[in-house]
């Protein structure tokens, strides 16, 4: 039986954080959620909150919002890991982005912090289509995106959470960098076809240029920082070198990663893409 530890889960209400927290609680661990609404509160933009959130904590799962690539992220990670050392934390697991050069600067800070560490680099999540920025266009029945030639090995947030939990609870993962992908690659139009077929809803896909996509986003009055990040992710992550499929999920968990079709079928059963929110039988 795993020894009970005090584990801080930053972004504990997000896509991976909520899943990690739930799994740790099921395994009898003492979990503290790192978020502004918790007590003690945690806010990346308020370094004064960090020491309180870290008090009495053994290990930390670090997710950084909105992304490790954004300006200021490396300074925040450096400050936070420094505070973690002062607070007596033993280990951190960092969620990073596969193929993000800026994120790798943050990884190096964690590696050189003096803490035990595991780096989990994930490609784009399946759940981006059910819990994040691609959900609304799918519900609207029309998805327009650039770079449809990009092949993405989408990874499931549940698989990421399982790898993170294993890394937090077992020291054999110390000093490891895991690159997590799904078992196959899909284009955006492939994704839309799969979801359309599984839901029985007509969902149109239109391939557009990056310029057209930016103009479309500007019409929604999105903040400049968000526009910068979207451009960075499309230009940096959706490249050929990032379409490589890894076997790290199988290496850590002893099982195959979740296929996109499995994810879609589970989401359909939960009624995620049903506009009236009624689950499918």
C-alpha distances (whole Å) from 40 to each of 19, 37, 49, 50 are: 21, 8, 8, 9
Summary mean pLDDT of the chain: 94
Quote the tokens at residue 279. Answer: 């689950």
Averaged over 19-34, what is the pLDDT? 98
Both structure tokens of 245:
């499929």
Residue 276 has what pLDDT? 56
CA distance 152 to 63: 22
Closest CA relative to residue 154, chosen from 118, 178, 181: 181
Q: pTM of the predicted model, to two decimals? A: 0.95
| Per-residue model confidence as pLDDT tens digits over 226-244 | 888 888 889 888 989 899 9
Q: Is the dihedral of CA 152, 14, 92, 173 positive or negative?
A: negative
Reference 94, options 82, 109, 72; nearest CA is: 109
3-state helix, strand and coil shares in percent for the chain, rounded to the nearest 5: 45, 15, 40
Taking 50 as the threshold, does the pLDDT of residue 277 lie above it? Answer: no
152-198 pLDDT tens trace: 999 999 999 999 999 999 999 999 999 999 999 999 999 999 999 99
Q: What is the pLDDT of residues 73-127, one digit of tens each?
A: 999 999 999 999 999 999 999 999 998 888 999 999 999 999 999 999 999 999 9
Which residue has better confidence, 1 or 127?
127
3-state SS, residue 40: coil
- Backbone phi, then psi, for 242, in 5-degree steps? -90, 5
CA distance 94 to 92: 6
**Using the 8-state DSSP alphabet, how is residue 48 labeled?**
G
- The answer to whether residue 279 scores a pLDDT higher than 50 is no
């Amino acid at each position: 039986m795993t020894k009970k530890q005090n584990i801080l889960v930053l972004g504990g209400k997000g896509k991976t954080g909520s899943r990690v927290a739930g799994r740790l609680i099921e395994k009898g661990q003492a979990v503290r959620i790192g978020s502004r609404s918790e007590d003690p509160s945690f806010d990346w933009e308020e370094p004064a909150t960090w020491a309180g959130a870290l008090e009495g904590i053994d290990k930390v799962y670090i997710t950084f919002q909105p992304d490790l690539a954004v300006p200021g992220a490396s300074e925040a990670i450096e400050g936070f890991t420094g505070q973690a050392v002062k607070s007596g934390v033993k280990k951190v697991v960092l969620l990073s982005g596969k193929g993000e050069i800026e994120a790798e600067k943050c990884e190096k800070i964690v590696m050189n912090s003096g803490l035990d560490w595991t780096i989990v680099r994930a490609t784009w999540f399946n759940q981006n289509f059910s819990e994040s920025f691609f959900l609304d266009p799918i519900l609207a029945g029309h998805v327009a995106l650039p770079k449809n030639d990009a092949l993405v090995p989408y990874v499931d947030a549940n698989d990421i959470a399982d790898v993170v939990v294993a890394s937090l609870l077992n020291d054999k993962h110390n000093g490891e960098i895991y690159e997590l992908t799904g078992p196959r690659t899909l284009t955006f139009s492939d994704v839309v076809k799969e979801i359309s077929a599984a839901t029985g809803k007509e969902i149109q896909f239109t391939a557009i240029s990056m310029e057209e996509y930016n103009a479309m986003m500007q019409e929604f009055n999105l903040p400049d920082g968000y526009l910068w990040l979207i451009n960075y992710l499309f230009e940096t992550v959706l490249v050929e070198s990032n379409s490589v499929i890894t076997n790290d999920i199988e290496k850590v968990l002893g099982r195959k990663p979740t296929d996109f079709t499995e994810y879609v079928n589970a989401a359909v059963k939960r009624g995620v893409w049903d506009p009236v929110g009624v689950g499918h039988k």
